[in-house]
Structure 1
Amino acid sequence: MSKLEGKVAVISGAARGQGRAHAVAMAREGATVVAFDICEPLKTPLHPGATIEQLDETVELVRKEGQECLSAKVDARDLTELEALAKRVMSTYGRIDILVINHGIWTIGESTWALDEASWQESIDVNLTGAWKVAKAFVPRIIDGQQGGSVILTASVNGLKAQPCAPAYTATKHGVIGLMKTLAWELGEHSIRVNAICPGAIATDMTQKGGTVEKSLEYTPRFFSTDRSLLPAGWVPPETVAKTAVFLASDDSEHITGVALPVDAGWTNY
């Protein structure tokens, strides 16, 4: 039997990158997938925004694994849209077992004090407030199912260690870990596990397109020119992170909650 047979997994930021990898990996293990994304560019990141065509491709990849996929163009900052989607999921499938709060943006500035207000605010709204809103919309549905479940938040190694020139990203990802720990306390009595994944150098559009890495290297060469990985991994494919997400979603992690788990080739040990 597959690890997630009969489960329904809701994934934000699912149009591409880690979100898509999570969707495909969970479908491969038997889960029905609900994939949503904003599918439009945001104002302040250098990296490009996801598109509706990318979300459609995620749907097709899930279906190739033999699983259903309900998709929606939804902004994680819009609680009304999120609650409407949660209602739609329940009317369609009658349950939610897994919630992966994965969406996010990465913005940078030459320094904390040089970062413009719009960049700071958009990061807070998307990465942190958006994570809370996704949880607010979907977690009560998992509780109502009375079957337990798993909530997984995508944080970052920058939720454990600071990145100079990325004050908003660093602050929001630290905040995501705090949100995860609070939810773990609150949801334990409902047999719902809550954990965070802290990815390192993952090869996605966020890191490989738009020039954010290159600009960061220009701003803080001391930080970015030092190889902190303990394994000869280079840029890690998002499918590696998805294996961790499947583990945390499955009964293999039945007694693991409140953990911020790095998937970083040892970077945070430096």
Structure 2
Amino acid sequence: MGLLDGKVAFVTGAARGQGRSHAVRLAREGAKIIAVDVAGPVSPANVYPAATSQDLDETVRLVEAEDQPIHARQADVRDSGALVAVLADGVAEFGGRLDVVVANAGISNWSRFWEMPDEQWQTVIDVNLTGVWRTLKAAVPHMIEAGNGGSIITVSSVAGIKSLPAQAHYSAAKHGVVGLTKAAAIELGEFRIRVNSVHPWGVATPMSEDPTIHKVLADHPSYAASFASLLPDLPIADSDDISDAVVWLASDLSRSVTATQLTLDMGATKV
């Protein structure tokens, strides 16, 4: 028996990294999966490789290896129509219910705010904040209609609790996710839908391989104080470390938890 037997989960940004890990782990606990990813370039400011359709195909293979079905499509969280269409098809395919939402899709890039092109600022806000709102907006009516309650997990960041230098746009978006999460928790409590945010620090994914951070810290040594950790033997987390929390929040093990900011940060928000 899995913690999520018979439930349906929707995961954004599922082609690789944390999103793939969340989809696979939720499937391992018994959930059917609806998954989306843009699976392509998003911003010229992103210098790490973009996810691909082949990455999304691999997520499908891994979920199916857990003996669970998956409805996976390429879709951009900036496109409400695409999200609505994917969810309509996926929820219908899996019996008319939606129990778990993991709003994971996001991008990261670097620049001091006054040197940042308008496109760089706007795209991070559009994906990392407005994309979360669009995800919840598309998903919540299905959860309410099903009448089964449920759990929504938004993926914020350490930067959603303390701001980071050279990432004003990212910090603004991730702080905004916290505000959205709290408001959604208040509005959805009457429907027995819990809403919580998780706040990872560094995680070993393609996004963390962005070489720009090394240049930023070399050019501005004073910024290094913002990138501390209390666990020197764990300088960077694995995606599974974050998925442990996502599974817990998705399941009834956390039934009394809502509107909470769960830090998975090696103590980084405290220093």
Would the TM-score normalized by the shorter structure come out above 0.5?
A: yes
Q: Secondary structure at the match of 1:10?
A: strand
Cα distance change on mapping 1:219 and 1:120 into 2, 3 Å: farther
Q: Does 1:4 align with 2:29?
A: no
Instruction: Please tell me whether the aligned partners of residues 34 and 87 of structure 2 are also in contact (alpha carbons under 8 angstroms).
Output: no
Residues 208-230 of structure 1, C-alpha deviations (whole Å, 9 max, x = no match): 1x413323323433233676211
Cα offsets for 1:21-61 (capped at 9, x unmatched)? 10111111111111110000112222221100000001111
Q: Does the Cα contact within 8 Å between 1:217 and 1:225 map onto a contact in 2?
A: no
Query: Helix, strand or coil: the match of 1:67?
Result: coil
Q: Is residue 214 of structure 1 aligned with residue 214 of structure 2?
A: yes
Q: Paired residues, what number?
A: 268
Pair 1:268–1:226, CA change in 2 (3 A):
closer
Which amino acid in the other structure matches residue 101 of structure 1?
Answer: A
Call closer, same or farther: CA 1:70–1:163 in 2, change over 3 Å.
Answer: same
The alignment status of 1:105 with 2:110, answered yes or no, reads no
Aligned partner of 2:20: which letter? R
SS state at 1:131 partner: helix
Contact 1:128 1:175 in 2 (8 A): yes
SS at match of 1:202: coil
1:74 aligns with 2:75: yes
Identity %: 43
* Alpha-carbon offset, residue 112 of structure 1: 1.4
CA contact (8 A) 1:216 1:224 kept: no
Cα-Cα RMSD = 1.2
TM-score when scaled to structure 1?
A: 0.96
Rounded to whole Å, the distance in 1 between the matches of 2:172 and 2:141 is 27
* Secondary structure in 2 matching 1:164: coil
**Inter-partner Cα distance in structure 1 for 2:138 and 2:127:** 15
Q: Which shows bigger deviation, 252-261 or 47-56?
A: 47-56
- Structure 2 matches for 1:138-153, cutoff 5 A? 138-153=139-154
State how far apart, in whole Å, the 2-side matches of 1:108 and 1:196 are: 23
- Provide the residue aligned with 2:119 in structure 1: 118
> For the structure 1 residues 227 and 166, does the alpha-carbon distance in structure 2 shift closer, same or farther, using more than 3 Å as the test?
closer
Structure 1 residue matching 2:166: 3-state secondary structure: coil
Q: What pairs with 1:243-258 in structure 2 (closer than 5 Å)?
A: 243-258=244-259
Match of 1:136 in 2: 137
Partner deviation per Cα, 1:136-186 (whole Å, 9 max, x = no partner): 111111111111000000000000001111110000000011110010000
Please give the alpha-carbon distance, in whole angstroms, between the structure 1 residues aligned to 2:191 and 2:225: 45
SS of 1:96's equivalent in the other structure is coil
Q: Superposition pairs for residues 94-243 of structure 1, below 5 Å?
A: 94-109=96-111, 111-208=112-209, 210-224=210-224, 228-231=228-231, 232-243=233-244
- Tell whether the 8 Å contact from 1:165 to 1:220 is kept in structure 2 after alignment: no
Unmatched 5+ stretches in structure 2: none
Give yes or no for contact 1:207–1:213 (8 Å, CA) kept in 2. Answer: no
